[in-house]
Amino acid sequence: MNPTGSNPRQIAVAIIPARYKSTRLPGKPLLSIAGKPLIVWVAKRASVAHSVWRVIVATDDERIRDAVNSAGFEARMTRDDHKSGTDRVAEVARTIETGIIVNVQGDEPLIDPATIDCAVSALTADKKAQMATTCEPISDINDVLNAAVVKVTIDNDDYAKSFSRNPIPFPNQAVQQYGSIEAALRNEPALLFSFRKHTGLYVYRRDFLLEFARWPQSESEQAESLEQLRALDRGVKIKVIEAASPSIGVDTAEDFERVRAIVENEMKVTA
């Protein structure tokens, strides 16, 4: 049910976790893109999604809160000791009434609103699934080899089978033939089509999210530093859909420059 009563398609609340501290890019949410903080661009994109009736930035930093509020968006202060963005999202989710929560990563200023809508629709249409997430095809060998790029495997019903920072599914026969996975991918480029990059958009049924946040970390979650494995290890059905268009998460200064150039170019085109 949509508490606003304005549009029956608007069934979800988007919560964007944002913290000031970042190992590789301190102050990332407040970095300026075309005159607006990065986090504001994320909020703007989320607010355009047809399925979203409310957008909240969840932060532990007053500077981020003030920047978001100044741009006309809602921000909530949260505890500063959360171990993950999902825990921060859950803290806010406990205080609101809605059936569906969208966890939009705070470093995704290029997130496509259509991707949000597709993920919300996929979850609401599948009664077996408790959460949904997104993926993109991998077309670069370096992404397969890069541990910072999380890979996902999917079954015939589009449920996640596994997530890993390692190459999955591992092309064992090709590796034996060519001596290494890199050599296998270079000699058989078609192998790339078997890999999918997991992108960090999550949609949850609210009640499940609150339960999930109370579960202890699983062994595989700790080993891979991937909290979605906590759900898989307990048999949770995670629906996986392909993103409507590619996005770029801002993890490094190089990522930021790429994103800034894209946004500024889009503004020139639409001006």
pLDDT digits 0-9 by tens, 121-153: 999 999 999 999 999 999 999 999 999 899 999
- Judged by DSSP in three states, 147 sits in coil
pTM of this structure: 0.92
Q: Is the pLDDT of residue 185 over 80?
A: yes
> Mean pLDDT over all residues of the chain?
93
Q: How far is Cα 187 from Cα 208, in angstroms, rounded to an integer?
A: 44
Architecture of domain 12-253: Alpha-Beta Complex (3.90)
Residue 265 contacts by C-beta under 8 Å, 6 or more apart in sequence?
Answer: none
pLDDT value at residue 5: 41
Q: How far is Cα 39 from Cα 252, in angstroms, rounded to an integer?
A: 15
Q: Where are the domains of the chain?
A: 12-253
Q: pLDDT tens, 18-72?
A: 999 877 788 999 999 999 999 999 999 999 999 999 999 999 999 999 999 999 9
Q: Is the pLDDT of residue 271 over 70?
A: no
Q: Is the pLDDT of residue 4 over 90?
A: no
pLDDT value at residue 216: 93
Q: How far is Cα 46 from Cα 49, in angstroms, rounded to an integer?
A: 6
pLDDT bin (cut points 50, 70, 90) of residue 7 is low
State how beta strands 160-164 and 151-154 pair: antiparallel
